[in-house]
Amino acid sequence: MDLTQSQSSNMSLGFVSHASPAATTATLTFRFDSSSHSVPFAPLQLMDNQREEKEKNGDVEEFRILGHSMCLKRKREIDSTSSSSSSMKSFSVTVWNELQSRRNAVRAWGNQGLRVADPDIFEIMNKEKQRQYEGIELIASENFVCKAVMEALGSHLTNKYSEGMPGARYYGGNQFIDEIEMLCCKRALAAFGLDPENWGVNVQPYSCTSANFSVYTGLLLPGDRIMGLDTPSGGNTSHGYNLPNGRKVSGSSIFFESLPYKVDPQTGCVDFDKLEERALVFRPKILICGGSSYPREWDYAKFRQIADKCGAVLMCDMAQISGLVAAKECLSPFDYCDIVTSTTHKSLRGPRGGIIFFRKGPKPRKRGMFLNQGDGSDKYDFEEKINFAVFPALQGGPHNNHIAALAVALKQVASPEYKTYMQQVKRNAQALAAALMRRNCRLVTGGTDNHMILWDLRNLGLTGKNFEKVCELCHITVNKVMIFDDNGSMTPGGLRIGTPAMTSRGCQENDFEMIADFLLKAAHIANSVQKEHGRLAKAFLKGLENNNDIIELRTRVENFASLFAMPGFELYQLYHLELITNEGCFSIGYRYSKSSTTFDGAKGCEAAVPQFTPIASTLMANNRNNIHGSLLQPIQKKQKVAAVWHS
């Protein structure tokens, strides 16, 4: 504000002056009061010295800034000691209360827990939690994540939109999202021992099916040819599966021309002679190895040779075995393949999603053996094509909470403890396979090299669908699968069994011996019901109602499963109880619900056994490895005993 222009400005700023002051320039700086009391806005005016005295005692307050001869004036501020101070306070309180009411309204819906906000969903989720805890999880493609992964997955990162790649987003405010995604990519490469100069990775796909289709979209034109393992032979539908009647059941078979290769019916392993013969005639642009239900090692070197002969890109879908690959417990597709896709859950124990690895940098001079780097004259062009296919071609914004959770899981994958875990997964699978074969069960390929087993039920006269239902009622979760000459996926003759999930809960080889007994008992129940009621679904399900054998087996399964801890959450505290009766001393395991009752386990007490749910009892047995199915019997109700609890 230039005060030297006050006379000629005809008081355009609302002040009066009878004489011009010395030429000077003043800057007026106004600052809001930082206190919690709001001050009402009042317009400021400049006034001269003559009028200053006249209005000194009026309703106008006058003051100078920086000693300037001209005065500012405004309506007199309310004196805290005056009678009007209460109205000022009332004004401040009103503003504050209004703000608080808005804050409370946000909290009312925004900070409400699920139990209160949606009791229906809360109850169903609790039932699912109970099912997971009390059941035996044997689906090969399922696993349990740790609490840290759950925390990242259920975090505030779900609020952020971030279409695009790190450093090139379509939305602002992504600096921290970029950091998370770049760290996730770095950890993904490190987990599999890949050189970032030669390999790139995209962690945005929503699933492995999305990842696979992104590869096809980026590298192919509609109608181009792909070749993957037939689904009844153990392949995945996303590799281009058609039903026997010719119906196309996946996007890969709808938009691209697919021809499957198959396994040898005698061995259950890939028939490479016929694969090569068909590939040289069909000339696929992408040859796919990897599958959903293949229990043996993949011979990537042979796939590389065939891909080179027919001029195809070699792609591996390692969704089932990615954990074994990371732990170096099986052959690595990265030594031979151009592109590798995977899920991020299953044996990796991460959130549900997909991931794509692709070669970059110079191409090799020679093909057919290890892909050693060449002279750099020809380079891979997968990176830009695949990234563009993921976004914007097929997906929108990535799920940032998933990417953060994946980063957490990949950090664990690179640890020595994870390698130990995957070694136990393999040992458990081999122990279960051996236990089933000792019980005269027929396994596809006669065993396993990885984490899964394929049980051929056809010699028992069972369908996978009926057996799966019996297992489900007994709280054993498995999944039916087609065997190579099956006619349909809904009435297949096989069962797929995996060990990663129960290994995550702490099961070892001897525990899978007991699980084999449970499975065989379930097979006998299914066979008995089928003989009495028939194989058709309606009659078979009727025979399962109120079946005493199922109730008995379910009790044994629940008691067994409840012995083991649950990653991510705990429903019960496990106590050991020494019972002293006239028949001897017993050590009893009890599962005790914190949510339903309270109990001081440190004190000796006179206990009524029916107040708690017994898990197992055995004479002087304090080691759970000595607890077996025949001993999983409940104590008689209302039996009074002297009890000493040990947590």
Catalytic residues: 161, 163, 317, 343, 346, 352
- Among 640, 624, 644, residue whose Cα is nearest residue 632: 624
How many alpha carbons lie under 13 Å from residue 572 in its C-beta half-sphere? 23
Distance CA 213, CA 512 (A): 37
> What is the per-residue DSSP string for 151-211?
HHHTSGGGG----EETTEESSS--HHHHHHHHHHHHHHHHHTT--TTTEEEE---SSHHHH
CA–CA separation, 89 vs 196, rounded Å?
Answer: 64
- Contact, 337 vs 310, CB < 8 A? no
Shortest CA distance to 170 belongs to which of 159, 156, 158, 160?
A: 160
DSSP conformational letter for 489 = S
* CA 276 to chain CA centroid, nearest Å: 38
Whether omega for the bond prior to residue 119 falls within 30 degrees of 0, making it cis, is: no
Nearest to 92 by CA among 40, 30, 42: 40
Q: What is the 3-state secondary structure (H, E, C) of 338-366?
A: CEEEEECCHHHCCCCCEEEEEECCECCCC
Contacts for 107 with CB less than 8 Å, ≥ 6 apart: none
Rounded Cα gap, residues 309 and 460, in angstroms: 43
CA distances from 89 to 32, 33, 81, 84, 85 (A): 17, 15, 12, 9, 6
Which of these, 478, 562, 474, lies nearest to 518 by C-alpha position? 474
Nearest to 335 by CA among 372, 378, 364, 298: 372
- DSSP 8-state class, residue 631: G
The angle subtended at Cα 275 by Cα 270 and Cα 280, nearest 5°, is 165
Residue in the structure block whose two tokens are 């004489």: 19
User: How many helices, marked H, and strands, marked E, lie in the chain?
Assistant: 19, 23
Cβ neighbours of residue 489 closer than 8 Å, sequence gap 6 or more? 231, 480, 482
Taking the C-alpha atoms of residue 533 and residue 543, their distance in angstroms, rounded to an integer, is 6
CA distance 547 to 542: 10
CA pair distance 217, 386, nearest whole angstrom: 8
In angstroms, what CA-CA distances link 385 with 152, 181, 214, 381?
A: 30, 19, 9, 7
Q: Which residue has the tokens 């914190």?
A: 594
Residue 191: closest CA among 348, 318, 337: 348
- 459 Cβ contact list (under 8 Å, min separation 6): 442
Tokens standing for residue 270: 């890939």
